Amino acid sequence: MIHDKAAELINQQVGHEFAASYQYIAVSTWCDAEALPEMAKYFAKQADEERMHALKMVQFLNDTDRAVDFPALPKPQSKFESVEQVFQLSYDQEVMVTDQIKAIYDAAAEHNDRVTQNFLQWFLEEQVEEVASMDTLLKITRRAGSDLFRVEDYIARQGHPEEAGD
């Protein structure tokens, strides 16, 4: 039902999504230790979202009768010098994930794998939101400077993008 190359790349992406979740757990833990409760909650929700993305891909592989191969996860970064470093890492991670998903989409297109292309549409739209959210938080953090209460207040008022639909 789906091309071999798409199945291979989606299996790799499952690992990338779980690694992103793991990284966001590390970030959330650091924020909690730094007494930044709104950021800690935000990144905990982000970790849950990335885990959900991985599980969606696992289900897609199962639904298309493809084996799921769970890769080992890299150790996440857990020490940071600043909140700006946290948001820069998060922004960079979301850009990288977007590029990875686009590469899967391109491979599916190359092999006329419309099933995989259709499946990935949701992820591409989701990544636009993910990159935009992290870009906004990075810019706000830079403007706030050492006044992290402003960043905490912004996150408390805006919430996580996933909450917008609740």
* 166 occurs within a structural domain: no
Residue 137 in tokens: 């938080």
Report DSSP state, residue 66: -
In a domain, 32, yes or no: yes
DSSP readout, 87-104? HHHHHHHHHHHHHHHHHH
CATH of residue 67's domain is 1.20.1260.10
What range does the domain containing 129 cover?
A: 4-159
Task: Give the residue among 102, 106, 115, 127 at the shortest CA–CA distance from 66.
Answer: 115
* The token pair that represents 109 in the structure block: 């297109």
Whether 165 is covered by a domain: the verdict is no
What one-letter code names the amino acid at 96?
A: M
| pLDDT for position 48 | 98
Q: How many residues belong to the chain?
A: 166
Residue 106 has a pLDDT of 98
Between CA 65 and CA 93 the distance in angstroms is 30
Our count of domains for the chain comes to 1
Residue 76's SS3 state is coil
Q: Mean pLDDT per 10-residue run, the chain (166 residues)?
A: 96 98 98 98 98 98 97 96 97 97 98 98 97 96 94 92 63
Predicted local confidence at residue 164, as pLDDT: 59
Q: If you write DSSP's letter for every residue of 114-136 in order, what string do you get?
A: HHHHHHHHHHHHHHHHHHHHHHH
